[in-house]
Amino acid sequence: MRSKLLPLVAVILCAAALAGGMYLRGQLDRSAPDIITVKQSVTDRSVSVRRPEFWLPDPQGVRHGVSEWDGKVLVMNFWATWCPPCLHEIPMFITLQQRYGTRGVQFLGIAIDDADNVAAFADEIGLNYPTLHGQMDAIEVMSAYGNKSGGLPFTVIISQSGQIVGRHPGVLDEATATALIEELL
């Protein structure tokens, strides 16, 4: 019996390895640099990628396109009200928006959430930068910006010329965020 199962197990393991490799290749988008290489991309624009256009509503239902913030350093953060790590970094983004807003930096939140949750949270915390929201459409935007796995939070840094110069999956710390912003000003 054991000798009959061995070929079957081998076929299953090979198929699983092949499927896993295909899955990982589909999840990793190498078209934009990771946050680790952003300093290189600031000086070498050839590794940058033009940011995709998109339109999403704010909590009041008004649709906005990302091109509204062309000409600014755009720090675009994908988040959700149900995501504790997301909620952890938002106060830092509020502080950085206060610090850098007059210098041409714009933070933009994109919530994978519904309008009521986003509006209630924004009011509660005193969000001082625009936030847009959506469900599947916001997830599609996040994927277009390089996050194929859908993990939150996810931050994208876009230069004044509209080039994606960095991406950061997970919580972004203040020292890294400040350094990235300063590099682009």
Give the pLDDT mean for 68-72. Answer: 96
Question: pLDDT digits over 12-64, tens only?
Answer: 333 333 333 333 334 434 444 444 333 333 333 344 688 999 999 999 999 99
pLDDT over threshold 50, residue 160:
yes
Which CATH superfamily does the domain covering 31-184 fall into?
Glutaredoxin (3.40.30.10)
- Asked if pLDDT for residue 145 goes beyond 60, the answer is yes
Q: CA quadruple 148, 151, 156, 162: dihedral positive or negative?
A: positive
Instruction: Check residue 1 and give its pLDDT.
Output: 53
pLDDT at position 168 is 93
Residue carrying the six token digits 């209630």: 120
List pLDDT tens digits, range 85-139.
Answer: 999 999 999 999 999 999 999 999 999 999 999 999 999 999 999 999 999 999 9
Q: Given pLDDT bands bounded at 50, 70 and 90, which one contains residue 4?
A: low
Domain spans, the chain: 1-30, 31-184
- Which residue, 88, 67, 70, 92, is CA-closest to 79? 88
Half-sphere exposure of 148 (CA within 13 A, CB side): 10
Supply angle C-alpha 116, 117, 121, rounded to 5.
115
Helix, strand, coil percentages, rounded to 5, for the chain: 50, 25, 25
Can you tell me the mean pLDDT for 135-152? 93
Band of pLDDT at residue 148, cut at 50, 70 and 90:
confident
